[in-house]
Amino acid sequence: DASWQAGSAEPAIRIENVTKTFGKTYAVDDVSLDIYPGEFFSLLGPSGCGKTTLLRMLAGFETPSSGRILIDGKDVTQVAPYERPINMMFQSYALFPHMTVADNIAFGLKQEGMPRSERDKRVQEMMELVQIVPFAERKPHQLSGGQRQRVALARALAKHPRILLLDEPLGALDKKLREKTQFELVNIQERLGITFIIVTHDQEEAMTMSSRIALMRDGRVEQVDPPRRLYEFPISRYAANFIGSVNLFEGVVIEQQGDEVLLQCDEAGAVLRVRDSRKMASGMPLCLAVRPEKIRLLAPGEEGPNQLTGVIREIAYLGDVSIYHLELPGGKRVQFTQSNVQALAEQPLTWDQTVTISWRPDSCGALSE
Ligand code: ATP
């Protein structure tokens, strides 16, 4: 469903200049966001940046200090949680310990007054969806963390909410189970067509699952974009650093040549080039950002743009690729990756080896913030 990309659809949720203060703390500071039907939307950021507070305001557990929240065009800022077409899955899962898995899932439906036969059918569907049918009669303490997580998800989905909020839903799982569950979550979300809004501090998790990510910083939204765009075109040093690995070169603009900017970079001891057609005055401070995988090795005697020579100080072997730390004469370190498939065919790089790297002006970005 790409309707949100076109921006033509009516947003499922509109957050309008929302601020939440606790005493002197601005937990959420003037946030505006539109989230479209069927999106898998992530609120991403470090601890304390306001993700959970924003999510709790969407659910109705907190009231904004100022601003409005609209669901399907209707102002719900003052509407009680249970009257919003929204369900929330909590960090702690909050399962009832004395109830079986099936009863936990049925609980909300029962409260809603759904007739027995319909309820049983819905519970069965939900258990099949998250693959916990064999555990239907167990109590939560007889389940693994991953199984409990799936029960909580089934319970949150059982009422068929139009919008589901998830606060660090995979936080309790180990890496392997996390990765598996990430795909399951996306799968379930796509099958049910529910709008998911998830809070996470894990950039990989956000990248894997999301249609779009709102990267937060000190209560504000730094950048909102699909994962690929956030990775390829971060708007600031903060965004570049938070998503993936990046090399930052601080410098000063010398001049513009066509759509390229020339940068005097003292820490690299070189003039660097970046493709950017925005108008930039000479003397302006600018930062060049380049991802480790965009850097390539030059063969002896070969020349290239953004050419730097240094000594390999560290090598991390990760199986498919290796990460190298190159030390430049001034002491600055540059990270680059090499495919090990390629490295097998060539001479493998070794510690203390002197090599020359290069990257294209259109394979890096210019950051002014
Ligand atoms: P984490 O990833 O650690 O859960 P977060 O990004 O979800 O962090 P919030 O929990 O939204 O961040 O907190 C944002 C800021 O608001 C923090 O500085 C926090 O201490 C403060 N805060 C949150 N809730 C309250 C509260 N009820 N009373 C006072 N301050 C609060």
Tens digit of each residue's pLDDT (9 = 90 or more) over 202-253: 999 999 999 999 999 999 999 999 999 999 889 999 999 999 899 999 999 9
What average pLDDT does the chain have? 90
Whole-number Å distance, alpha carbon 104 to ligand 1 midpoint, is: 29
Task: Tell me, yes or no, whether 99 and 156 share the same domain.
Answer: yes
Specify the amino acid at residue 116.
R
Whole-number Å distance, alpha carbon 62 to ligand 1 midpoint, is: 12
Q: How far is CA 25 from the centre of its chain?
A: 25
Task: Tell me, yes or no, whether 11 and 106 share the same domain.
Answer: yes
Q: What is the pTM of this model?
A: 0.86
Residue 9 has pLDDT above 80, yes or no: no
Which residue has its alpha carbon closest to ligand 1 atom 3?
47
Quote the tokens at residue 263. Answer: 């940068």
Task: Tell me, yes or no, whether 130 and 207 share the same domain.
Answer: yes
Domain final position from 190, 212, 241: 241
Name residues contacting ligand 1 (CB within 6 A): 22, 25, 27, 45, 47-53, 201
SS (H, E, C) 36-68: CCCCEEEEECCCCCCHHHHHHHHHCCCCCCEEE
Cα–Cα dist 41/15, whole Å: 13
Whole-number Å distance, alpha carbon 4 to ligand 1 midpoint, is: 29
Cα–Cα dist 309/290, whole Å: 16
Domain final position from 241, 267, 286: 241
Helices 101-112 and 116-129 sit at what angle, rounded to 10 degrees?
A: 130
Task: Tell me, yes or no, whether 70 and 210 share the same domain.
Answer: yes
* Residue 108: C-alpha distances to residues 111, 154, 335 (Å): 5, 11, 51
Residue 304 has pLDDT above 50, yes or no: yes
Task: Tell me, yes or no, whether 22 and 60 share the same domain.
Answer: yes
Task: Tell me, yes or no, whether 163 and 233 share the same domain.
Answer: yes
Give SS3 for 70.
Answer: strand
Instruction: Give pLDDT tens digits for 256-284.
Output: 999 999 999 999 999 999 999 889 999 99
Task: Tell me, yes or no, whether 276 and 316 share the same domain.
Answer: yes
**DSSP, res 227:** H
Domain final position from 198, 213, 241: 241
pLDDT of residue 188: 84
Q: Which domain holds residue 193?
A: 3-241
Cα–Cα dist 176/147, whole Å: 14
Q: List the beta bridge partners of residue 214.
A: 43, 224
Number of domains, the chain: 2
* Burial bucket for residue 138 (CB in 10 Å: 0-12, 13-18, 19+): middle
